[in-house]
Homo-oligomer: A and B are copies of this chain.
């Protein structure tokens, strides 16, 4: 309907009046009614499918000057939907709690946060943007009095920026929630969206570089405008910056935090669930080095439109694997998925942003809490990118703090991408492989090997696309490392057989401290490895408590950095002080990074 309306509009004034009347009455109006009043459970929902419905009905209304249809499209139907219809077949709710309205305005009000973040994530936002924008364009032309592009402070244009900002250096969207990897700014929807954002959004010259990379423009005003800008040599490079994108209609229901530093792109997710397409990935993260995945999010288990794979729809492994917590880079408690894998429960309790601070390029920090995913357990993850002068690349520091009354088994998976080079641990690779469990995604993991960590730190180096990466993990006695591979209980080869690592700790309250380095290079045409080993001599916890986490990073040749973080008091004016073994650490504000003596100190 969205596409047909555009075609019909082109010939509307040209075709015979009688035929037009007949088409209007016998085809398009009934079709529009079918999508709307005959299927209100579909039409009144806050969901990308309904956006298509709203736009289609509204656009055909604009073509036929049928204001009733336009009204339905804009404001939804005054019909209460109940009974069987309250759940869609993907488990999402039809009607949001407290939802008072429906239709296009309601989609704009509810589906987007004030930052333009769409709760289903960028993959679906890309899909939904097309009808949002094309309907908006029609409204802008035919009902300028609505000032639709100014609605909610220019929300639709902001949404395009939000999409652009959720990409890696290849323009590929972060594959959070149900998302096929590789979807990118090159898609037809974004070709339309970016040009529109340029044309209607203030002629931002940085967008022109994205349009140039797209290599095509839509055949309309926006495309013309963008082409003219490029032809006039106004293109500026688009600079991807660190930013937080809030979730929820009012921007107060969680967020995603994106930190960028040199080649790193780190994204941590503490948003809402993302409705039916959401994953149980609270406090998970993904990490790119330029275009390369370093720590990956699996994405969805689906080959979109490819008939070989169950007709191209969602595969059953999407539910049994891809949505489960263990498929993500976040802590799994007692081998169970967050919120016991209940969408409603997760949807009701978004993550809690604690701190997002990218003001100092040398110490960028994102921190968020999740206190509802597991009963009696509160978790806070603090990830930072630290530029240390001794290192060739900024360092990722991950402090995962857990407060728990009882002993639990905590699993922290890391889906590293590449070939394992070495570890500092004695481990055993198994000569018979068994699945790691029977539920919550563990049934899809082979246990390739395992070892008990004996040193103070566990470290592992891997190689990916000409660079080395090392994870260093501060270990406690009896911590285990499990080497995993995806692909068990996968009867149709639906899953990629990717490797992973699980750091397992049995504990009550505890602090997981991990660093990730990118270092060195190697290419097979010259065969000379440069800087292939970690620069971290040791990672030590100086303090862990409900209120503070402080760690020490000792680098090769001596320099020692201390990072201290206040977990409960984020008042930038507060003074903090913690007692260490031999001295006292004091600082102001949320966190502090200091360089200590260049000689190894006794703590």
Contacts and interface: CB of A to CB of B under 8 A. Distances in A.
Contacts of A304: 524, 527
A18 to B, nearest CB: 38
A121 interface: no
Nearest to A448: B487
A451 B309 CA distance: 19
Contacts of A525: 182-184, 186-187
A14 interface: no
Contacts of A487: 448
Nearest to A421: B308
B429 A493 contact: yes
Contact of A526 (B188, B306, B491): B188
Nearest to A182: B524
Interface stretch (A432-440, A471-479, A542-550, A588-596): A432-440
Given A432-B434, A433-B432, A525-B187, A532 B307 contact: yes
A188 B419 CA distance: 26
A341 B488 CA distance: 34
Contacts of A184: 524-525
Contacts of A514: none
Contact of A187 (B307, B435, B526, B529): B526
Contact of A305 (B186, B492, B529): B529
Nearest to A420: B493
Nearest to A419: B496
Interface string A470-512: 0000000000000101011111110011010000000000000
Nearest to A493: B420
A435 B528 CA distance: 34
A26 interface: no
A571 interface: no
A492 B499 CA distance: 14
Contact of A524 (B183, B446, B463, B532): B183
Interface in A142-187: 180-184, 186-187
A487 B432 CA distance: 11
A183 B527 CA distance: 8
B421 A433 contact: no
A407 interface: no
Contact of A429 (B305, B422, B490): B490
A367 interface: no
Interface in A419-477: 419-422, 428-429, 431-435, 446, 448, 461, 463
Contact of A461 (B308, B488, B496, B524): B308
B497 A527 contact: no
Contacts of A303: 421, 463
A419 B493 contact: yes
Interface string A391-435: 000000000000000000000000000011110000011011111
Contacts of A187: 525-526
A186 B187 CA distance: 34
Interface in A170-229: 180-184, 186-188
Question: Sorted from nearest, which 4 A-B pairs have the closest CB atoms?
Answer: A182-B524, A308-B421, A433-B433, A308-B422
23 contacts: A182-B523, A183-B524, A183-B525, A183-B527, A184-B524, A186-B525, A187-B525, A188-B526, A303-B421, A305-B527, A306-B463, A307-B529, A307-B532, A419-B493, A422-B492, A429-B491, A429-B492, A431-B434, A431-B435, A431-B489, A432-B432, A432-B433, A497-B499
Interface of A: 180-184, 186-188, 303-309, 312, 419-422, 428-429, 431-435, 446, 448, 461, 463, 483, 485, 487-493, 496-497, 499, 522-529, 532-533
Given A428-B491, A432-B432, 9 more contacts: A180-B524, A188-B526, A305-B527, A306-B522, A422-B492, A433-B433, A433-B446, A485-B497, A497-B497
